[in-house]
Amino acid sequence: MKRTVIVLAGSLIMLSTLAGCVVSVNDGDWDSEFANSHGWQQHQKDNRAAIANLTTSTSYESILANLGTPDFTENLKQDDAEYQILFYQTNTKHGDGKITKDECTPLVFKNRELIGWGDTALERLQ
């Protein structure tokens, strides 16, 4: 009888310890995956909302202050004008965790003033 009580008590202790570990590990993993997946989705949504409210002639500095650091940048000088292109992530196409230009919306500036955004604006520059 004593042996049975000792085995049962030991089993209960072991099970409660293991159950605590499993709950703790799963909670941490789920929270971190949830935060990461919703973090980039919210970031893209915020970028789309900000870009939807843009107006031409907005300054380069104002865009940087509002949208923050772009995912990609390009710069070129052509016919006495300087062009800057800022790329902000707005959609996911590949799902590989890496941001590519085709997942971004380009903002096109001439002499530090916004002249257009999107693929059409970029194609006109080329």
pLDDT at 36: 53
pTM of the model as a whole: 0.69
Q: Measured at the alpha carbon of residue 117, what is the angle toward residues 72 and 98, in degrees to the nearest 5?
A: 30
Q: What is the pLDDT of residue 48?
A: 97
CA pair distance 113, 98, nearest whole angstrom: 29
Q: Which CATH class, in words, describes the domain spanning 2-125?
A: alpha beta
In terms of Cα–Cα distance, which of 65, 70, 75, 62 is closest to 114?
62
- Cα end-to-end distance, the chain, whole Å: 88
| CA torsion, ordered 99, 102, 105, 106, to nearest 10 deg | 100
Give the chain's radius of gyration (CA, Å): 26
Q: Compute mean pLDDT per 10 residues along the chain, 126 residues long, and list them.
A: 56 48 39 55 94 96 96 95 97 86 97 97 89
The count of C-alpha atoms lying within 13 angstroms of the C-alpha of 60, restricted to the half-sphere facing its C-beta, is 14
Amino acid at 50: A
